[in-house]
């Protein structure tokens, strides 16, 4: 299809008989013609060409018939013309015959008779071709839809000239003002004159999760987008050059449709990007948060009452999308109202209600202590320092950190401790019973110990393999809170019955489940019968002290076992393997004599030599304490 260049259109006014200079000029409509040239075999006298009437003024709107108009040749029809030709030929023959008889001369050559009608036909064809050219038969056309609903064949040049104007097309409105026939400058002036100076009041709020938050537009500048709207309205159906006939037809039809269905454009206040974006961002950034679970902030160890910090919802704010909604509201001239914030609300996993529904005592363990006052003092102090400790979800508890260093200044006293596999005196002796009791409560709460050390030999206050020794700062007992709720340690020593109490509070096990701490001895050796005697130069000669009782070697495997509410085992998890080595009995024997000298000790028999004659009878051996620790606080 031929390309149409608006720059080479009929803007000069020479594309039709009268030319077209604007959208208001008349359009030339071409009608198809089916006229035919006369046959060369049917000729007329050469003199008949002189009888042709002069062509009158050509009319671009005329509608030719399907056959050649023979009235131009001075006859009324083709049949009549043929009859006249035949009659003329008959007269010619008769005339020639009479002439030949009268004069005896030869008649006209046949060639002349043939050439004459051919010349006449050529003359007629030339005349008719000129007529077709003059009436635009060979010019390009388009089929256009007119404003009144009719269709018409238009010359391309005329259609181009019609829409190639520097004025708005009729049917174009901006802010309700008909700008058809105006130039861009005239249209802008008319629109600006009708615009209010500024919004009387701008009060837009943002709605987030049922709450309203006012936007502050005091530092935001407003301006009309008049130039943009005028340019947009003017560009409708404008030729850019190089359009084909299909596009030309579409544009021309669009211009015609505007007369029936006007196009409306609306100006609005626009806000500088940095103004509205900064305003919305400043307000919403503080809500762009991760959800916060509800948590227990305080716990009263006496009343077991606790306080909860309520949960907070999280918000994933789409600031650009919210900003765009605010700008659209301003562009639509709605300066008062609410905009729903584009956001994803993230609910916390732990709520105040869920804590209240599931929080409670999850395990407890008790062990009985000895009558040793210093040891019980240390146990009481350790329980007091640890009592009420809150372990947050995902955090780790440290016994040494909770109880602190065992010093006299912090109230600890000397009691027996194990060092190198034997009893010695040390500050804080006995607190391993507290860490071991806590270890049992931790396992029965469904938690996992992250650091635990067994004693050198089994303790008497708990089953085999369920102890946990500590020694500042080298050996520690630790566990991690793997639940989604706080774990609270409640611990105390009861003087009346000399019992260590440990309770853990947290998220209760589901469906009435319980966990037990169970141990199984997988190997066991014999108790050594030999006794090891150690010289003690600070003890009086003949005095003895058992610093270690005999112990057999064994291996113990411990398990964390879940049971349902009916006592049926659900699952079993291995917790630890404790290996205890064999120890023979160890006795300290005093060698200090009254005169300051020392007797000699036989380490195999425990007997002394070099004693004075009046050597008193040896003192009865002290009974060994059964509590044991491995280099820790027994």
Q: Are 368 and 461 in contact (CB under 8 A)?
A: yes
611-626 tens-digit pLDDT: 887 655 655 554 444 4
The whole-number pLDDT of residue 357 equals: 95
Q: How confident is the model at residue 628 (pLDDT cuts 50, 70, 90)?
A: very low
Q: Report the mean per-residue pLDDT for the chain.
A: 82
Nearest-CA neighbor of 128 among 54, 46, 37?
A: 37
CA 283 to chain CA mean position, Å: 20
**pLDDT for res 51:** 35
Q: What is the pLDDT of residue 57?
A: 37
Residues 583 and 551 sit within 8 Å (Cβ to Cβ):
yes
Does residue 165 lie within any of the structural domains? no
Report how far residue 104's alpha carbon sits from residue 100's, in angstroms, rounded to the nearest whole number.
Answer: 5
Per-residue pLDDT tens digits for 365-383: 999 999 999 999 999 999 9
25/163: higher pLDDT = 163
Tell me if 302 is assigned to some domain: no
Report how far apart, in Å, the C-alpha atoms of 444 and of each of 43, 361, 362 are: 129, 11, 8
Q: Measured at the alpha carbon of residue 264, what is the angle toward residues 263 and 267, in degrees to the nearest 5?
A: 145
**Token pair listed for 278:** 């900064």
Residue at 82 is within a domain: yes
Question: Is residue 491 a contact partner of residue 501, using CB atoms and an 8 Å limit?
Answer: yes
Q: Is residue 322, in this structure, part of any structural domain at all?
A: no
* Residue 508 placed within a domain: yes
- Which helix (H) or strand (E) segment holds residue 420: the answer is none
Confidence category of residue 634, pLDDT binned at 50, 70, 90: low
Give the helix/strand (H/E) hosting 423.
Answer: strand 422-427
- CA–CA distances in Å: residue 491 to residues 385, 434, 445, 505: 9, 9, 15, 11
| Domain closes at, from 110, 138, 166 | 138
Mean pLDDT, range 297-310, rounded to an integer: 96
Domain end call among 112, 138, 164: 138
Question: Please, are residues 312 and 257 in contact by the beta-carbon 8 Å criterion?
Answer: no
pTM flag (> 0.85): no
Q: How confident is the model at residue 321 (pLDDT cuts 50, 70, 90)?
A: very high
State which of 96, 114, 138 marks the end of a domain: 138
Q: What is the band of 134 on the pLDDT scale with cuts at 50, 70, 90?
A: low
Tokens read off for 617: 């009878």
Return the pLDDT at 77.
52
- In a domain? residue 430: yes
Nearest to 313 by CA among 297, 294, 285, 326: 294
pLDDT on residue 5: 42
User: Distance from CA of residue 209 to its chain's centroid?
Assistant: 19
Answer with the residue of higher pLDDT: 479 or 528: 479
- Asked if the structure places residue 610 within a domain, the reply is no
Structure tokens at 86: 């035949």
**Which residue range is the domain that position 129 belongs to?**
31-138
Question: Which sign does the torsion angle of CA 497, 503, 509, 511 carry?
Answer: positive
Domains in the chain, number = 2
How many Å apart are CA 249 and CA 239, to the nearest integer? Answer: 11
- Find the range with the poorest average confidence among 199-213, 489-503, 510-524, 548-562: 199-213
Distance of CA 187 to the CA centre of its chain: 45
Indicate whether 52 pLDDT > 70.
Answer: no
* Residue 327 pLDDT exceeds 70: yes
Pairing, β 531-540 against β 585-592: parallel
Task: Report yes or no on 11 lying in a domain.
Answer: no
């Amino acid at each position: 299809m031929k390309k149409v260049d608006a720059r080479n259109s009929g803007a000069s006014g020479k594309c039709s008989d009268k030319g077209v200079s604007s959208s208001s000029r008349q359009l030339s409509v071409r009608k198809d013609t089916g006229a035919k040239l006369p046959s060369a075999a049917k000729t007329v006298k050469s003199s008949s060409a002189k009888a042709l009437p002069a062509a009158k003024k050509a009319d671009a709107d005329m509608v030719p018939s399907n056959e050649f108009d023979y009235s131009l040749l001075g006859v009324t029809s083709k049949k009549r013309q043929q009859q006249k030709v035949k009659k003329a030929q008959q007269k010619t023959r008769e005339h020639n015959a009479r002439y030949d008889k009268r004069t005896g001369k030869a008649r006209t050559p046949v060639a002349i008779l043939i050439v004459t009608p051919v010349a006449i036909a050529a003359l007629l064809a030339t005349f008719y071709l000129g007529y077709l050219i003059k009436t635009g038969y060979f010019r390009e056309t388009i089929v256009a839809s007119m404003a009144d609903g009719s269709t018409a064949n238009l010359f391309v040049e005329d259609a181009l000239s019609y829409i190639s104007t520097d004025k708005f097309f009729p049917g174009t409105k901006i802010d309700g003002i008909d700008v058809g026939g105006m130039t861009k400058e005239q249209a802008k002036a008319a629109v600006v004159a009708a615009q209010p100076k500024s919004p009387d009041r701008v009060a837009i709020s943002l709605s987030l999760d049922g709450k309203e938050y006012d936007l502050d537009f005091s530092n935001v500048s407003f301006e009309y987008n008049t130039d943009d709207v005028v340019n947009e309205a003017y560009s409708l159906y404008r030729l850019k050059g190089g359009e084909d006939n299909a596009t030309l037809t579409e544009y021309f039809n669009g211009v015609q449709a505007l007369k029936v269905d006007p196009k409306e454009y609306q100006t609005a206040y626009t806000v500088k990007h940095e103004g509205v974006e900064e305003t919305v961002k400043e307000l919403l950034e503080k809500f762009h948060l991760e959800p916060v679970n509800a948590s227990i902030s305080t716990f009263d160890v006496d009343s077991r009452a606790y306080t909860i910090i309520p949960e907070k919802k999280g918000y994933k704010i789409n600031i650009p999308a919210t900003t765009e909604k605010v700008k659209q509201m301003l562009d639509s001239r709605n300066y008062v109202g609410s905009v729903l914030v584009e956001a994803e609300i993230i609910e916390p996993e732990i709520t105040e209600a869920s804590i209240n529904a599931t929080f409670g005592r999850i395990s407890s363990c008790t062990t009985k202590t000895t009558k040793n006052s210093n040891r019980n003092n240390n146990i009481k102090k350790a329980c007091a320092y640890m009592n009420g400790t809150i372990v947050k979800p995902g955090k780790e508890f440290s016994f040494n950190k909770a109880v602190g260093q065992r010093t006299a200044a912090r109230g600890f006293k000397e009691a027996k401790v194990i060092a190198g596999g034997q009893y010695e005196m040390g500050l804080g002796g006995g607190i391993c019973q507290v860490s071991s009791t806590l270890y049992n409560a931790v396992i029965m709460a469904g938690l996992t110990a992250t650091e635990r050390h067994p004693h050198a030999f089994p303790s008497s206050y708990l089953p085999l393999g369920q102890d946990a020794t500590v020694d500042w700062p080298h050996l520690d007992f630790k566990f991690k809170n793997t639940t989604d709720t706080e774990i609270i340690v409640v611990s105390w020593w009861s003087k009346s019955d000399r019992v260590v109490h440990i309770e853990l509070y947290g998220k209760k096990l589901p469906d009435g489940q319980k966990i037990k701490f169970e141990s199984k001895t997988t190997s066991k050796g014999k108790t050594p019968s030999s006794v090891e005697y150690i010289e003690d130069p600070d003890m009086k000669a003949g005095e003895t002290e058992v610093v270690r009782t005999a112990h057999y070697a064994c291996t113990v495997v411990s398990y964390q076992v879940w049971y349902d509410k009916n006592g049926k085992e659900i699952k079993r998890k291995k917790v630890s393997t404790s290996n205890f080595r064999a120890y023979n009995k160890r006795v300290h024997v005093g060698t200090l004599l009254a005169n300051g000298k020392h007797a000699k000790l036989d380490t195999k028999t425990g007997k002394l030599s070099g004693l004075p004659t009046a050597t008193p009878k040896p003192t009865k051996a002290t009974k060994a304490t059964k509590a044991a620790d491995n280099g820790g606080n027994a």
